[in-house]
């Protein structure tokens, strides 16, 4: 009996030793894995500007530029049909791109492959638009078909592009790039409206105006295709999907291009704010900014202006937004994202007051309206910059693009409904409605200032709480 007990005890000790060794080995593997993942994130967040980043910048800038051009084409084509349902349709159709393509990007395609789908769509749409305007007497159904294809492409690219910026660019540049790159949307709108103004001024022909804008869109698409062949995939997305070998290959390319990195940055840990609260905040400021920008930069032009005045409203609105985008890039890190949000939305509300007074007392002086609109659109761009900073940064990597698209679901639905409702408004009611929307944004930014946190130069994984999740999933 004693012999059996001794043998049993020895056996248990041996087994315990084996299990303990396996445990230590597993602990070592996990520790090394955590270190590797941490080093990978630090490599991205602290790298210097290099060839990969330059390619990404050019590629994304072209994509946002195309968004501005194609969106403006849809608005400036309105006078050819003068149908309220045309405006309603072109405002609603972007939802397909926002939701469908962003979901595909998150699930399986990744960021780079999605871009080739979007480029094909807006290239095809531009070609059909040119042919329709030049040879088919501007058939409204063909126009809508062409615009549908093109806008699904450029709109679907936006959540994916914002995701890639947040995931790829170093912390030193991240917030700045999340502002300056989407600002190419405004620059595209300025170029498109300027071409529309010049061609209509010289020819008084909507056909020539539309063909010219379509050609600009097609040229932009061709340049995008050439540049994006060497665009990198998002390393963070690859890790989130467990594609470790490809993530290693991408990070090795970056290391070979940039032998040195910036010194590691210090940051404070953000407050814990639930995903539901973040989503609600983004929807509210989005409702404020998206609706006021669309209504004041585009819809007010179609409703209350005609001819060259219509084009000039769009031109001055987007010119103001373009300049403000450059200013926002310089101040976002100095102010911090919360104070930056307060400045943007309270400024937008305050600049609606002189527009309100203009409509009551000075509405015969169209040139004065251009100046006031220019100022208001500068703050609208600051509000857009707040969105483009917060939307990708506050969302988890594995579902980032789709969540950005999902934020835009209630926003675009509300915008579409607003276009129909405001078609019966007089000019004063239209402006009051916009003031209320700015008030919603101002109140939301104030609540976030109290309850939320600054995101500047804080790693994505710290903000979203993904460090442990990524380690568990990839291991």
Q: Render 316-335 in DSSP notation, one character per residue.
A: HHHHHHHHHHHHHHHHHHHH
* Domains parsed from the chain with CATH numbers: 49-260+277-474 (1.20.1250.20)
Residue 256 confidence (pLDDT): 60
Q: Tell me, rounded to whole angstroms, the distance of Cα 382 from its chain centroid.
A: 14
Residues 6 or more apart in contact with residue 231 via CB below 8 angstroms: 55, 56, 59, 112, 115
Q: Read off the pLDDT of residues 384-418 as tens digits, 9 standing for 90 and up.
A: 999 999 999 999 888 899 999 999 999 999 999 99
Alpha carbon of 460 to those of 123, 165, 225, 259, 368: distances in Å? 33, 11, 29, 23, 44
Alpha carbon of 443 to those of 129, 376, 446: distances in Å? 42, 18, 5
Helix-strand-coil split of the chain, %, nearest 5: 85, 0, 15
DSSP 399: G
Distance CA 254, CA 43 (A): 9
Distance CA 30, CA 212 (A): 59
Distance CA 155, CA 153 (A): 6
Query: Are 157 and 114 contacting, i.e. CB atoms less than 8 angstroms apart?
Result: yes
For the record, the structure tokens of 119 come out as 């480029």
Distance CA 475, CA 472 (A): 5
Q: Read off the pLDDT of residues 272-324 as tens digits, 9 standing for 90 and up.
A: 888 899 999 999 999 999 998 888 877 877 777 766 777 788 888 888 888 99
| 205 φ/ψ sector (left φ>0, alpha ψ -120 to 50, else beta) | beta
Q: At 54, phi and psi to the nearest 5? A: -65, -45
pLDDT lower than 50: segments of the chain: 3, 6, 9, 11-12, 14-16, 18-33, 259, 469-475
Q: Give the N- to C-terminal CA distance of the chain in Å, as an integer.
A: 46
Residue 401 confidence (pLDDT): 92
Identify the residue whose tokens are 């539901």. 276
CB atoms under 10 Å from CB of 272, counted, come to 8
Q: Which residues pair with 261 in a beta bridge?
A: 47
Distance CA 387, CA 401 (A): 14
Residue 384 confidence (pLDDT): 92
DSSP 204: -
For the record, the structure tokens of 239 come out as 């890790």
CB atoms under 10 Å from CB of 328, counted, come to 29
Query: Are 324 and 316 contacting, i.e. CB atoms less than 8 angstroms apart?
Result: no
Query: Are 457 and 267 contacting, i.e. CB atoms less than 8 angstroms apart?
Result: yes
Identify the residue whose tokens are 């529309």. 196
Query: Are 419 and 300 contacting, i.e. CB atoms less than 8 angstroms apart?
Result: no
Residue 343 confidence (pLDDT): 94
Q: What is the pTM of this model?
A: 0.83
Residue 2 confidence (pLDDT): 57
Distance CA 436, CA 114 (A): 37
Residue 31 confidence (pLDDT): 45
Q: Which of 29, 427, 453 is nearest to 281 (CA)?
A: 453
Distance CA 422, CA 426 (A): 8
Residue 20 confidence (pLDDT): 44
Identify the residue whose tokens are 């995101």. 455
């Amino acid at each position: 009996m004693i012999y059996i007990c001794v043998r049993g005890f020895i056996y248990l000790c041996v087994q315990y030793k084996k299990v303990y060794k396996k445990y230590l080995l597993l602990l070592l593997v996990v520790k090394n894995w955590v270190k590797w993942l941490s080093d990978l994130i630090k490599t991205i967040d602290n790298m210097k500007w290099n060839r990969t980043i330059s390619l990404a910048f050019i590629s994304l800038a072209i994509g946002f530029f195309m968004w501005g051009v194609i969106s403006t084409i849809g608005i400036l084509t309105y006078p050819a049909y003068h149908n309220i349902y045309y405006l309603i349709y072109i405002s609603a159709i972007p939802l397909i791109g926002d939701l469908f393509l962003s979901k595909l990007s998150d699930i399986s395609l990744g960021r780079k492959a999605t871009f080739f789908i979007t480029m094909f769509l807006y290239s095809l749409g531009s070609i059909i638009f040119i042919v329709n305007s030049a040879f088919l007497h501007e058939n409204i159904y063909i126009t809508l078909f062409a615009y549908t294809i093109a806008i699904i492409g450029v709109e679907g690219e936006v959540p994916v592009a914002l995701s890639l910026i947040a995931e790829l660019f170093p912390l030193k540049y991240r917030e700045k790039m999340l502002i300056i790159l989407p600002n190419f949307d405004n620059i595209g709108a300025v170029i498109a409206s300027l071409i529309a103004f010049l061609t209509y001024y010289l020819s008084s022909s909507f056909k020539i105006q539309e063909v010219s804008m379509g050609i600009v869109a097609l040229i932009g698409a061709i340049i995008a295709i050439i540049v994006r062949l060497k665009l990198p995939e998002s390393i963070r997305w690859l890790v989130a999907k467990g594609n470790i070998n490809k993530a290693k290959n991408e990070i090795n390319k970056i290391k070979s291009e940039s032998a040195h990195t910036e010194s590691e940055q210090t940051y404070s840990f953000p407050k814990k704010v639930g995903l539901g609260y973040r989503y609600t905040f983004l929807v509210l400021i989005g409702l404020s900014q998206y609706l006021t920008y669309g209504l004041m930069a585009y819809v007010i032009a179609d409703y209350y202006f005609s001819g060259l005045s219509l084009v000039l409203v769009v031109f001055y609105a987007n010119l103001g937004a373009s300049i403000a985008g450059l200013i926002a890039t310089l101040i976002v890190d100095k102010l911090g994202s919360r104070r930056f949000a307060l400045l943007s939305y309270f400024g937008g509300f305050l600049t609606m007051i002189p527009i309100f007074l203009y409509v009551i007392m000075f509405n015969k002086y169209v040139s004065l309206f251009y100046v006031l609109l220019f100022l208001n659109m500068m703050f609208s761009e600051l509000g857009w910059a707040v969105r483009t900073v917060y939307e990708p940064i506050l969302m988890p990597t594995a579902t980032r693009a789709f969540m950005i698209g999902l934020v835009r679901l209630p926003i675009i639905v509300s915008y579409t409904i607003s276009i129909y409702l405001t078609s019966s408004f007089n000019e004063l009611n239209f402006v009051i409605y916009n003031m209320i929307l700015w008030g919603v944004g101002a109140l939301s930014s104030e609540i976030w200032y109290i309850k939320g946190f600054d995101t500047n130069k804080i790693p994505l994984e710290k903000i979203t709480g993904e460090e442990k999740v990524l380690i568990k999933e990839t291991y």
